């Protein structure tokens, strides 16, 4: 999937480190910065 600036990202749901379910749609109307980290090696 390819995204570009000002393009709407598809909604998705993740579980955070406190085991809470969070969806991108929870932040509708707000600026969101997505960071994809490979984790610790």
- Which pLDDT score, from 0 to 100, does residue 37 have? 80
* Number of Cβ within a 10 Å radius of residue 22: 13
- Which pLDDT score, from 0 to 100, does residue 30 have? 93
pTM higher than the cut 0.85: no
Identify the CA nearest to 13 among candidates 30, 27, 2: 27
Summarize pLDDT for 1-39 with one digit per residue, the tens.
Answer: 777 888 888 899 999 889 999 999 999 999 988 887 877
Q: Are 22 and 16 in contact (CB under 8 A)?
A: yes
- Which pLDDT score, from 0 to 100, does residue 41 have? 61
Q: Are 23 and 16 in contact (CB under 8 A)?
A: no
Rounded to whole angstroms, the maximal C-alpha distance in the chain is 35
23, two tokens: 């969806």
């Amino acid at each position: 999937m390819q995204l570009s600036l000002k393009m709407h990202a598809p909604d998705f749901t993740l579980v955070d480190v406190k085991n809470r379910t969070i969806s991108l749609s929870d932040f509708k109307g707000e600026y969101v910065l997505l960071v994809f980290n490979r984790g610790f090696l």
